[in-house]
Structure 1
Amino acid sequence: MANNGENKQTVLSTLPKDLPLDFLRSSTDQFSKERIIGTGAFGTVYRGTMPDGQTIAVKKLAENAPLPRDRAFTNEVQNIMALQHDNIVKLVGYCHEGQKKVVLNNGRYIVADVYESLLCYEYLAKGSLQKNLFEGHSNMAWHTRFKIIKGICNGLLFLHRIPIIHMDLKPENILLDHNMMPKIADFGLSRLFGQEQTRANTQNVVGSYGYIAPEYLYRGEISTQSDIYSLGLLIIETTTGEKNQPKQNEPSAREFIEKVHKNWTDGHITSMYPHLNKNELQEVKVCIQIGLECVNIDRKNRPSIETIVEKLDGRCANDMANLQISTSSRRG
């Protein structure tokens, strides 16, 4: 058989590489503070430079992460290693390496193997959706917001068909490339379900306050609908430009949802987007409607990701023609 694609990348050749710790130290100037581009519950992200000049993002997992470091590392590597999708951040390398160090243990100094866990991703120049929506003077055009919403939904559709449940969708975990194409990132809490499995229960509830679905928060129930709840808040925030900020020690987004439901009427939408044409205003209304349906307190009444993508693509004619932000979605 003739080989017509000697330079064509195969899936195997694009799979992440096990990289040496010293190599990653060198690429980040020994994990210098000047190289930090983000911090979170799971660790610190540094800007790394490869020998060929390519920039990568290097996440050094924290010891005190919400999940044990080994499990968070395994989650990310196993769950997204072979994922190839425009709206999923690409894992390009990883490192789990032990080095002998002198450490203090019960009052005595001992020599022990200390492991570092690191994950390397494609570098996305525009940073997080959080930064672009809420930090600085953000004046994002509607067509960009709509493109971001559709991209996030397409990425989640891809994940849920595997099925992988992300478990931590929020603006900080959506990264944007130079064309403002969104990519879902940070799979430290993600769950890979068996093909017949649709729900699971856990007593160890972890996630981001204000984005956790109520059935997971209060009963430990996990399903694809857990992600749909978080997605609804993401869609609402991106559409309105308003930040979901739960009060201290208040895990629910109920107050934010009620405020959006009350304020974002047809008249308010027109006043907030005065330069949009009729079709664009309809897009805004559809996004508000979808967002409020997604945050229904009863997971069974939330739309599937397939239905959401269809609505955003304008394939649900009846819904588009009879668009009403119904009071039945006033839940959260």
Structure 2
Amino acid sequence: MDHQSVITPWDLECMLCDEAAEPKALPLSLLKRITHDFSDEQAIGRGGFAVVYKGMLENRTVAVKRMSNTYMYEKEFQREVECLMIAKHKNVVRFLGYCADTQGNMARYEGKFVMADVQQRLLCFEYLPKGSLHEYITDMSCGLRWRDRYQIITGICQGLHYLHHKHIVHLDLKPANILLDDNWVPKITDFGISRCFHEMQSQVITKITGTPGYLAPESYNHTKVTYRHSYQLDIYSLGIVIIEILTGNKGYHDVDKVVESWSNMLEQSQSEVQKKQIRVCAQIGIECTNFDPAKRPDTLHIISRLDETESMGGYIKTGMITSQQVGDVLNKLHQDAPNTPRESSSERMPL
């Protein structure tokens, strides 16, 4: 039933503006209202068992994912909510709330009126107007500059590292499930087949689903995968994604040829640093796609490798400046000039 009807579009907008706000149960009436009753004009994406709509608030926009065939995909809905309630990271899509509504509906069946339950299962997220990464990496010679691609690679790796730290295995990592904000910050989304293991170390995955082309080879062996080895499934998918970001294509590529193909498209003043970054990323991509799961690196190793390449060029050379780095610089300036009046500002650098 629609017990949370007191929540308004303004309340949802306040949640969106407050990064500390926790996801909550949302009324069906609210989600109907902001999507114009789930009109086709508001639809912005369709998947195997869901349609995503644009939800219009007072001054902001959200995305509303409405599940279809809810009886068939009830487990997927519950798993997705479970993962999203745990996952709070700058490289994971911001989850605002869910709706699990069931109402009785009179319908005629074999000449008689019977009461049938109608289920509604919906999820609400931040809206990212740039869409998915898939739309920007079809060809390395057009679209994103290297510094943007490098930021996307590092962001995906950081997001996946966070998920694995939280014992969440995504199981369907691919460019279509990576959204981009206005500053090209990647955000992992679509946790419909993900698994959250908690401390149930004896748990296994008996049926591995996902997207062909991104599935690890062991996914086709019809063998059980324990929680300890399940993370390597994501690592393989990550490697395919990295190679695709580098080249526009899936599959193995020679590292030297990847670097050479980028040589004429790099910023001249930063080309040597960026070539090193490209080489390291290509090596990581190839290592992640090793057919032997035991030889694939874990996310901690990957992050440390990327951190080394970032330090090669410093903050300015890579074009990657974090809010923490900005704050450190500002604090240092204030310490050097203690008698200088400080200007107050409510603005924060978007990342």
Settle same-fold status: TM greater than 0.5: yes
Structure 1 alignment gaps of length 5 or more: 1-6, 245-256, 318-332
Distance in 1 (CA, whole Å) between partners of 2:219 and 2:111 is 41
* Aligned equivalent of 1:144: 148
Q: Which has the larger radius of gyration?
A: 2
Structure 2 alignment gaps of length 5 or more: 1-13, 312-351
For residues 19-168 of structure 1, what are the structure 2 equivalents within 5 Å? Answer: 19-50=26-57, 52-63=58-69, 68-103=72-107, 110-134=114-138, 138-168=142-172
Quick check: 1:239 aligned with 2:246? yes
1:312 is displaced (CA, Å) by 1.1
Distance in 1 (CA, whole Å) between partners of 2:138 and 2:202 is 35
1:194 is displaced (CA, Å) by 3.1
Q: Which secondary structure state, in structure 1, belongs to the residue aligned with residue 136 of structure 2?
A: helix
Structure 1 residues 40-49 or 176-185, which shifts more?
A: 40-49
Distance in 2 (CA, whole Å) between partners of 1:172 and 1:104 is 41
Deviations 1:274-296 (A, max 9, x none): 14311211111111111111111
For residues 173-188 of structure 1, what are the structure 2 equivalents within 5 Å? Answer: 173-188=177-192
- CA contact under 8 A between 1:310 and 1:316: conserved in structure 2? no
Which letter maps to 2:260? T
* Aligned equivalent of 1:322: none
Distance in 1 (CA, whole Å) between partners of 2:257 and 2:120 is 54
Deviations 1:64-94 (A, max 9, x none): 79xx421111111111114321001111011
1:241 is displaced (CA, Å) by 1.9
Deviations 1:207-241 (A, max 9, x none): 11111112223224251111101111111111112
Distance in 2 (CA, whole Å) between partners of 1:91 and 1:304 is 26
Structure 1 residues 78-87 or 143-152, which shifts more?
A: 78-87
1:111 is displaced (CA, Å) by 2.3
Deviations 1:149-184 (A, max 9, x none): 000000011111111111110111100111110001
Q: What root-mean-square deviation, in Å, do the aligned CA atoms of Structure 1 and Structure 2 show?
A: 2.8
1:269 is displaced (CA, Å) by 2.5
Which letter maps to 1:215? E
Which runs of structure 1 show a deviation greater than 3 angstroms over 4 or more consecutive aligned residues? Answer: 102-109
- Aligned partner (choices 193, 207, 214) of residue 217 of structure 2: 214
Identity percentage of aligned residues = 41
Which letter maps to 1:55? T
TM-score, structure 2 normalization: 0.75
Distance in 1 (CA, whole Å) between partners of 2:112 and 2:191 is 37
* Aligned equivalent of 2:345: none
- Alpha carbons of 1:176 and 1:316: their partners in 2 closer, same or farther (altered >3 Å)? closer
Distance in 2 (CA, whole Å) between partners of 1:240 and 1:104 is 57
- CA contact under 8 A between 1:128 and 1:175: conserved in structure 2? yes
Distance in 2 (CA, whole Å) between partners of 1:157 and 1:31 is 35
Q: Which secondary structure state, in structure 2, belongs to the residue aligned with residue 47 of structure 1?
A: strand
- Alpha carbons of 1:25 and 1:148: their partners in 2 closer, same or farther (altered >3 Å)? same
- Alpha carbons of 1:109 and 1:217: their partners in 2 closer, same or farther (altered >3 Å)? farther
Distance in 2 (CA, whole Å) between partners of 1:312 and 1:108 is 66
Aligned length: 288
- CA contact under 8 A between 2:70 and 2:120: conserved in structure 1? no
1:104 is displaced (CA, Å) by 6.5
- Alpha carbons of 1:103 and 1:134: their partners in 2 closer, same or farther (altered >3 Å)? farther
- CA contact under 8 A between 2:280 and 2:309: conserved in structure 1? no
Deviations 1:229-268 (A, max 9, x none): 11111111111122x3xxxxxxxxxxxx2xx33xx44245
